[in-house]
Amino acid sequence: MFRQPSRASGRPQSAAAGGGGSWAPSDLGSALRLWIKADAGITSSGGLISQANDQSGNGFHLFSTGTNRPTLNATGYNSLPSIDFAASSSTWLGTQAIGGAAVPVGLNLGTSCSFFFIGRYTTASDGFGRIMSYLGPTTSAGSGVDYAAADCLGAMHRNGSANAFQGTQNSVDLAVGAATPSSNIRALMVYDGAAHTAQLYINNSASGSGSTGVAAFNLGSTGCLAIGTTIQTASGNISTIAANFTGTIAELLVTNTALDTTTRGNLDAYVVARLGA
């Protein structure tokens, strides 16, 4: 098992933007639903990750099995640990045992949510390769994919025809923004189902015009979050399909709020101070 460096648990020493002092995702309180760090709470063997523990305290740990396990890279992001995914071998992490009939474990994201990651992707990622995707309650017991119903989100993924990030909901492409392959990036996708909006932020700057085409949704008490792959349900089982992610993740989080300007600034300052740009 990889032993984490002591740096992982510390807060950045520099003041967060708008916060007047140190800030960490834990300051989000109950809005923070999932928080994964490559340098904390990782269980691995031979460099392959079987579990990434949720640092939010909510217990939404991520799992993987067999040949689908991503790789723990001890120096993969600015000489700090990273979780590396390869589309060619369909590597992923999920909030439950994808491929089985386990009861879905929903993050209770409600009618607005935000998905953030710091890392990078490569041109080897499949078209529409998923960084994060969520199957909500409308498909958790039936059939469908993470973008084919209002209560499901292709939360953040590579655009299939351009070097860009985007989100997808109800088969509608939302909030597309340019990104450079193999370059470090801080990406945040903010959805508001009540306001019918989605906006992508790249390095804390709004990217593209966003979208007002978001359907109303309620990501309730059941569901499944996957990292690195597209997920679907069939006969009650949750399984993976095409569109896998190749790239590196140093840290990610999910909230049940549409993060506002001040919080976006605090989050960005936190990860830059902790991990570098």
What tens digit of pLDDT does each residue of 241-250 get?
889 999 999 9
In this prediction, residue 101 has a pLDDT band, given cuts at 50, 70 and 90, of: low
Q: Domains along the chain?
A: 31-275 (2.60.120.200)
On the question of pLDDT at 106 being above 90, the answer is no
Q: What is the average per-residue pLDDT within 231-251?
A: 88
What tens digit of pLDDT does each residue of 253-276 get?
999 999 999 999 999 999 999 999
Q: What is the average per-residue pLDDT within 33-45?
A: 98
Question: What is the structure's pLDDT at 102?
Answer: 58
Smallest CA-to-CA distance from 95 within 256, 220, 227 is with 227
In this prediction, residue 21 has a pLDDT band, given cuts at 50, 70 and 90, of: low
Question: C-alpha angle 187/193/199, rounded to 5°?
Answer: 30
* DSSP states of 146-209: TTSSTT-EEEEEE-TTSSEEEEEETTEEEEEEE--TTS-EEEEEEEETTTTEEEEEETTEEEEE
Q: Are 236 and 101 in contact (CB under 8 A)?
A: yes
Question: What is the structure's pLDDT at 239?
Answer: 87
- What is the average pLDDT value for the chain, to the nearest integer? 88
